[in-house]
């Protein structure tokens, strides 16, 4: 039995369906342990079931199809260390099942379409990430998964992405301005012509001046650096790897951007890149690379998407530890 938390730390993981949220959550489990962390899928707060959405023409991405009052009340209760009876949206039937009891836990992760949409819910979150996948890459991933595993046709996939786009643009995408970290996934710039989604350019956009969060940097904090790490220590095959680090402005916020374009040939050599990064929040030399190597089979492990998921997880762990230590100090002072 896991001890009762003294302080519930709330993490938000936002992004469209099929954008890598489950993969990210599996990586978080390595850092916190499955028992220490409770994941709430915000689909459970759909207020309109599948039939009602069809009748009204309101999509699941539209806030009107979701009960933000209940979401806020329940997430607030969990943060206040109280159990909740959370609704369950059943993706097989498209209906709501009877609620389930959820106890507070050390880490509560709210993941899904809208963790950062409602100002009240957003205010409860201690650290958030938005998974921002460009259209070209999203289509390619959907094709890989939904054609191979779910029997959908190419036209079905394209039609479903296009049908979701207006509400995606209106209600999901704007949340990225509120995230502490955005993992942006784009097609490579290393090749003129490329099959979209095969080689990726991945950017870790980190907000500056966030309490309890020190962004990762390459070589020299605040500088602008272009680095081709392919040399004696990192094996690169065509078209190679290019990294970038530098300051930027993102929706009016000061951010730093770390970028990897290309893919790793030998995963254990990522230690070479790790040794040039600072503020990774790893607890020992090589921890970031070990975490990546632990699940070399997860999608994205051989490129910046896996690397930045691991780094974001390390940052979440560090924020958690700081918040817990603040809480202990508060208690000791009373």
Ligand X SMILES: Nc1ncnc2c1ncn2[C@@H]1O[C@H](COP(=O)(O)OP(=O)(O)OP(=O)(O)O)[C@@H](O)[C@H]1O
Ligand Y SMILES: O=C(CO)[C@H](O)[C@H](O)COP(=O)(O)O
What whole-number distance in Å separates Cα of residue 10 and Cα of residue 8?
Answer: 6
Is the backbone peptide bond immediately before 239 cis, with ω within 30 degrees of 0? yes
Closest CA to 306 of 275, 260, 272: 260
Name which of 140 and 256 has its Cβ closer to ligand X. 140
What whole-number distance in Å separates Cα of residue 107 and Cα of residue 5?
Answer: 9
From candidates 29, 52, 88, 94, binder to ligand Y by CB under 6 A? 94
Residue 113 binding target from ligand Y, ligand X, none, CB below 5 to 8 Å by type = ligand Y
Name which of 21 and 27 has its Cβ closer to ligand Y. 21
The distance of Cα 250 from the centroid of its chain, to the nearest Å, equals 17
Shortest CB 156 distance to ligand X, Å: 15
Query: Closest residue to ligand X, Cβ-based?
Result: 300
**What's the DSSP call for residue 149?**
T
Encoding tokens for residue 11? 């993490």
Shortest CB 268 distance to ligand X, Å: 19
Give residue 310's region: left, alpha or beta (phi > 0; psi -120 to 50): alpha
Shortest CB 332 distance to ligand X, Å: 40
What whole-number distance in Å separates Cα of residue 180 and Cα of residue 209?
Answer: 10
Closest CA to 183 of 18, 17, 19, 299: 19
| Ramachandran angles phi, psi of 162, nearest 5° | -65, -35
Name which of 66 and 263 has its Cβ closer to ligand Y. 66
Strands 253-262 and 200-207: antiparallel
| Cβ neighbours for 300, distance < 8 A, ≥ 6 positions apart | 20, 23, 200, 306, 309
Shortest CB 77 distance to ligand X, Å: 25
| CA contacts within 13 A on the Cβ side of 153 | 3
Shortest CB 17 distance to ligand Y, Å: 4
Q: How many residues bind ligand Y (CB under 6 A)?
A: 7
Name which of 8 and 133 has its Cβ closer to ligand X. 133
Shortest CB 28 distance to ligand X, Å: 12
Q: Does 43 bind ligand Y (CB under 6 A)?
A: yes
From candidates 14, 113, 185, 310, binder to ligand Y by CB under 6 A? 113
Query: Closest residue to ligand Y, Cβ-based?
Result: 60
Shortest CB 81 distance to ligand X, Å: 28
Q: Does 91 bind ligand Y (CB under 6 A)?
A: yes
Residue 300 binding target from ligand X, ligand Y, none, CB below 5 to 8 Å by type = ligand X
Name which of 141 and 250 has its Cβ closer to ligand X. 141
Encoding tokens for residue 91? 């993706």
Kindly tell me the sign of the dihedral angle through the C-alpha atoms of 232, 234, 235, 240.
Answer: negative
Q: Does 60 bind ligand Y (CB under 6 A)?
A: yes
Residue 276 binding target from ligand X, ligand Y, none, CB below 5 to 8 Å by type = none
Residues that bind ligand X (CB under 6 A): 15, 17-23, 141, 144-145, 299-300, 305
Residues lying near ligand Y in the complex (CB under 6 A): 17, 43, 50, 60, 91, 94, 113
């Amino acid at each position: 039995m896991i001890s009762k938390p003294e302080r519930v730390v709330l993490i938000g993981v936002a992004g469209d369906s099929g954008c890598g949220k489950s993969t990210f959550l599996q990586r978080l489990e390595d850092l916190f342990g499955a028992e220490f962390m409770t994941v709430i899928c915000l689909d459970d707060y759909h207020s309109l079931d599948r039939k009602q959405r069809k009748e009204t023409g309101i999509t699941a991405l539209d806030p009107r199809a979701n009960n933000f009052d209940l979401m806020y009340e329940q997430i607030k209760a969990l943060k206040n260390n109280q159990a909740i009876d959370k609704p369950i949206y059943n993706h097989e039937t498209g209906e709501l099942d009877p609620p389930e009891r959820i106890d507070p836990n050390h880490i509560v992760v709210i993941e899904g379409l809208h963790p950062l949409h409602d100002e009240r819910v957003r205010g409860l979150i201690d650290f958030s990430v938005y998974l921002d996948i460009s259209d070209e890459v999203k289509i390619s991933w959907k094709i890989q998964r939904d054609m191979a595993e779910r029997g959908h046709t190419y036209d079905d996939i394209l039609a479903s992405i296009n049908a979701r786009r207006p509400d995606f643009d209106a209600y999901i995408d704007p949340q990225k301005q509120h995230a502490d970290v955005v993992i942006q996934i784009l097609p490579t710039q290393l090749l003129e012509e490329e099959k979209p989604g095969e080689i990726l350019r991945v950017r870790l956009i980190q907000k500056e001046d966030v309490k309890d969060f020190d962004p990762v940097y390459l070589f020299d904090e605040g500088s602008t650096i272009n680095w081709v790490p392919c040399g004696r220590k990192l094996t690169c095959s065509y078209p190679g790897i290019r990294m970038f680090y530098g300051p930027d402005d993102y929706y009016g916020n000061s951010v730093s951007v770390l970028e990897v374009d290309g893919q790793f040939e030998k995963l254990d050599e990522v230690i070479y890149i790790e040794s040039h990064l600072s503020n990774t929040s790893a607890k020992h030399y090589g921890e970031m690379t070990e975490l990546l190597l632990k699940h070399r089979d997860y999608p994205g492990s051989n490129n910046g998407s896996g690397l930045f998921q691991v780094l974001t997880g390390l940052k979440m762990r560090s924020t958690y530890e700081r918040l817990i230590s603040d809480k202990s100090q508060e208690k000791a002072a009373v």
